[in-house]
Amino acid sequence: MRILHKENIEDIMIGSGFLGSGGGGSPAQGRMLVDYVMSISEQVMLASPEEIDPGAWVAVVGGMGSPAAALEKGIFNALTRAFEALERATGFNFSAVIPLELGSGNSIAPMSVAAQKGIPIVDGDGAGRAIPQLDMTTYAVYGVPISPFTLANESDVSVALYTDNPDQIERLARAITIEFGMVAGFATHAMQGELLREVAVPGTLSLSEKVGAALRRARQSGSDPIAAVNTLLGGWILIQGTIAQVSTETKAGFDFGSFIVRAETGQTVEVDFKNENMIAWEGGKPIVMVPDMICCLREDGQPVTNVDVQEGMKVAFIGMRAPAKLRSPQAARVFSPVLEKIGYTGPYVPIERLLGEAENN
């Protein structure tokens, strides 16, 4: 077990903001949560999945709703109250928390519960990136019950949902979140340490910390942050250029849209998203698709979420392999309906094959 101090947590917030692939909460929300965690405790315990007792109970904790509403109203008490509601619903005393996904907001949100309760946060999550739907996590794919699913607001209301259908949970939870004023804390996927080790993507908070530290050091030294993070992660720089066009449409509680990025060389890449980046195209052909990752950095090394992207912004998009647990045929299939709505109807093709084929054409 390791102790995280403020600089470690800030690095995790920045690094997970990059790895979040366009989602998972904005850096502004993440900074607000870091300050809140530090107001509770000057340190947070980080435990590897192997350090959790096989019989100990662990809860997945996160935030749901509008990033703008979370910034305006806060999402502090809601997270702990959702956690406590899950304890009441299950009758279990939870020994640790773990994020649903990576992102500047949702990597840090469970730390506030960990700090409040004096328990560790597990070094891992359910995707190794951010995802738009609850059925896209490794917890859901590999069979951890999503029910009971608890939500709470900042004041005095909490609810527990009982159905093992993630789609139904998604619809109900979003409707309740709207009633809560567009921001809620949630807790779900109660599991014991033995199962946690099988289903969670391990080491993702430590990886986020390394990414955040590399970006911080690059900024401090005046070196190239894009090259630094790409070298660390073994990714592919898809394009460095300027956001030429942004189109966004909100449907059924999700942000759909696309970015067109142009480089000075004339290279053009289009990125389609559903909250998070789903697929990137060049010359009408896909070059990266989910579950693999399409991550964005500004030239100054700050991660960019999709709600922050603006026309004229100078950015780099970097493609990376998703964690192995998300690239299994069983896991990759859950992304197919989203890709079909965007216009890609073929099978999942790993990034290394797509880019290898692109280089050979």
Question: Mind listing the pLDDT tens digit for each residue in 172-184?
Answer: 998 999 899 888 9
- Reference 51, options 106, 121, 101, 113; nearest CA is 121
Residue 356 pLDDT: 86
Residue 120 pLDDT: 98
**What is the C-alpha separation between 10 and 302, in angstroms, rounded?**
13
Does residue 312 lie in a domain region? yes
Instruction: Give 34's pLDDT tier (boundaries 50, 70, 90).
Output: very high
- Assess whether pLDDT exceeds 90 at residue 159: yes
Q: Report the percentage of the chain scoring pLDDT > 70.
A: 95
When divided into structural domains, the chain yields a total of: 2
Mean pLDDT confidence for 78-99: 97
Whether residue 144 sits in one domain with residue 260: no
Mean pLDDT confidence for 137-156: 95
Q: Which residue would you say has higher pLDDT here, 37 or 74?
A: 37
| HEC letters along the chain | CEEECHHHHHHHHHHHHHHCCCCCCCHHHHHHHHHHHHHHCCCEEEECHHHCCCCCEEEEEEEEECHHHHHHHCCCHHHHHHHHHHHHHHCCCEEEEEECCCCCCCCCHHHHHHHHHCCCEECEECCCCCCCCHHHCHHHHCCCCCCCEEEECCCCCEEEECCCCHHHHHHHHHHHHHHCCCEEEEEEEEEEHHHHHHHCEECHHHHHHHHHHHHHHHHHHCCCHHHHHHHHHCCEEEEEEEEEEEEEEEECCEEEEEEEEECCCCCEEEEEEECEEEEEEECCEEEEECCCEEEEEECCCCECCCCCCCCCCEEEEEEECCCHHHCCHHHHHHHHHHHHHHCCCCCCCCHHHHHHHHHHC
Whether residue 191 sits in one domain with residue 236: no
Q: What is the CATH classification number for the domain harbouring 132?
A: 3.40.1610.10
CB 148 within 8 Å of CB 135: no
Does residue 211 lie in a domain region? no
Instruction: Give 322's pLDDT tier (boundaries 50, 70, 90).
Output: very high
Residue 214 pLDDT: 97
Whether residue 298 sits in one domain with residue 353: yes
pLDDT tens column, 51-86: 999 999 999 999 987 666 666 676 789 999 999 999
252 burial type by CB count under 10 A (0-12 exposed, 13-18 middle, 19+ buried): exposed
Does residue 260 lie in a domain region? yes
Does residue 151 lie in a domain region? yes
Whether residue 103 sits in one domain with residue 23: yes
Whether residue 295 sits in one domain with residue 147: no
- Assess whether pLDDT exceeds 70 at residue 357: no
**What is the C-alpha separation between 283 and 325, in angstroms, rounded?**
30
Whether residue 248 sits in one domain with residue 168: no
Whether residue 230 sits in one domain with residue 146: no
Q: Which of 24-33, 138-147, 307-316 has the lowest mean pLDDT?
A: 24-33
Residue 153 pLDDT: 93
**What is the C-alpha separation between 113 and 76, in angstroms, rounded?**
9
**What is the C-alpha separation between 83 and 149, in angstroms, rounded?**
10
- Assess whether pLDDT exceeds 60 at residue 361: no
Does residue 13 lie in a domain region? yes
Whether the ω angle into residue 291 lies within 30 degrees of 0, i.e. cis, is: yes
Whether residue 288 sits in one domain with residue 171: no
Q: What is the CATH classification number for the domain harbouring 263?
A: 2.40.390.10
Q: Which of 90-94, 153-157, 227-231, 234-238 has the lowest mean pLDDT?
A: 153-157
Whether the ω angle into residue 49 lies within 30 degrees of 0, i.e. cis, is: no
**What is the C-alpha separation between 21 and 109, in angstroms, rounded?**
18
pLDDT tens column, 220-275: 999 999 999 999 999 999 999 999 999 877 665 567 789 999 999 999 999 999 88
Q: Residue 325: give the domain boundaries.
A: 225-360
- Reference 243, options 319, 312, 304; nearest CA is 312
Mean pLDDT confidence for 286-298: 97
